Amino acid sequence: MLKVTPLINTFAEIRNQKSLLNKQQLASEYPDLARFLQQLGTLEHTANGELKFVIDFLYIMGRKSEGTFLRFRNEIERWCLYCWQCREKGIFDVARKDIEAYIEFVWKPGREWLGLSVQQRFKERSGQFHSNPKWRPFVAKVPKSMTKKDPGSIASLEQYRPSQESLISTFTAISVLYQHAQMEEVCDKNFVPVVKKSCPYLVKEVQRKTPDTLSELQWEYVLGITRDMADQDRQYERNLFIIVTLKSLYLRVSELSEHAKWRPTMSDFSNDNDGFWYLTVFGKGNKIRSVTVPEAYLQYLKRYRAYRGLSPLPSPDEDSAMLNKLRGSGNMTARQIRRIVEQSFDYAISALQRDGFAEDANYLMAATTHWLRHTGATEDAGSRPLKHLADELGHASSETTDKNYIQSNIKDRARSGFKRSI
């Protein structure tokens, strides 16, 4: 079998990559990819045409959202590699049994398809993109809480299993690809929904679990420790502002960071004639929404602005970056924001351990930045109208908010069952 190789570059590069998909130009820009396609033998012409179609499809997805591009690229790249290498047929020549076989493969990939870390696909050298030999289609990861306990932990390739979310992403990406192909009249069948319906590895939940959140004690420590650090050293004012903003305003990290489509500024805060404050947010699906700013939040906004030498509250024409970098200009990236939140989590974990709350510290080790959004929304779910909460979370449907955050029946059942005797 051929060695697995990356097929699709970054979103910034794919338009150029698509235009190079002829033998001469591809060999000069992507020599390893050209060699791989050539080694497919009689399938080379088919694979080349399908790769062009896939890149065009991913470009359409990427124009909507780079996050969608990344998820779809990962799934569809694996599917192409599997069809060409393991089934020796094109992705538009497969039957239902091929997709069923692929799901079995996704559940337990071959060792040569598994890596232990996320790797860059291509490395540019002298104007050429060379395939990274360390890249693999699937990655076995150590749970986050384990890496905090033991930084030297190594994932087990033998124990790799995709999560339910990963399996759903696999079905979704491939199915959307075939729907697009049907519209383009490239193929006339989409077997994915049928295979998904009979998949033995997908677990059907009767009731969705509550979202991952910080407990009241954990949030008290995260907020309290970060505030204490900011009192002692003003460089932590930014930490304090970030965690309070993400939690209190139900924000995704992407909504607070700078990216190609949005630059958050202080003028995104605004007030009306009645004295209510709002934050304008650019969210998923390229949708702009308005989030109500709680009165209690304003003290943290004023505190952060004082640290930056700004007036207590923003003016409508203020162009200051929402989150200033300590070095350089402009807003912070999503990665930088996550790193700062992790720092506050780590300080809280140490404090919880020191004070004898070992279980709470252990649970907090698994927390991600997105838990702050879930925590704020879950806390407010019992006191705010469902429609109001859905609008401020940026959910297209109140049903999503209801499923994720309105979990009174689960809580009531837990309370009635918790005190049962043995």
Domains defined for the chain, CATH in brackets = 11-149+160-197 (no CATH), 216-418 (1.10.443.10)
pTM over 0.95: no
Q: Mean per-residue pLDDT for 32-60?
A: 93
Pairing of strands 277-283, 287-293: antiparallel
Q: Which residue has the higher pLDDT, 184 or 422?
A: 184
pLDDT at 212 over 90: no
Asked which of 3-7, 34-38, 143-147 is least confident by mean pLDDT, the reply is 143-147
Taking the C-alpha atoms of residue 197 and residue 350, their distance in angstroms, rounded to an integer, is: 46
pLDDT at 62: 86
pLDDT at 155 over 70: no
pLDDT at 75 over 80: yes
Q: Which residue has the higher pLDDT, 149 or 70?
A: 70
219 touches 375 (CB < 8 A): yes
pLDDT tens digits, residue range 314-323?
A: 999 998 999 9
pLDDT tens digits, residue range 229-266?
A: 999 999 999 999 999 999 999 999 999 998 878 899 99
Position of tokens 């890249």? 135
pLDDT at 409 over 60: no
Helix axes 164-183, 66-82, angle to 10 degrees: 90
pLDDT at 209 over 60: no
Q: Mean per-residue pLDDT for 211-227?
A: 93
Sorting pLDDT into bands at 50, 70 and 90, what band is 19? low
The chain-wide mean pLDDT, for the chain, equals: 88
pLDDT at 183: 92
What are 220-226's contacts with CB under 8 Å, separation 24+? Answer: 221/348, 221/351, 221/352, 221/357, 221/360, 221/364, 222/344, 222/345, 222/348, 222/364, 225/344, 225/347, 225/348, 225/351, 226/344, 226/347, 226/348
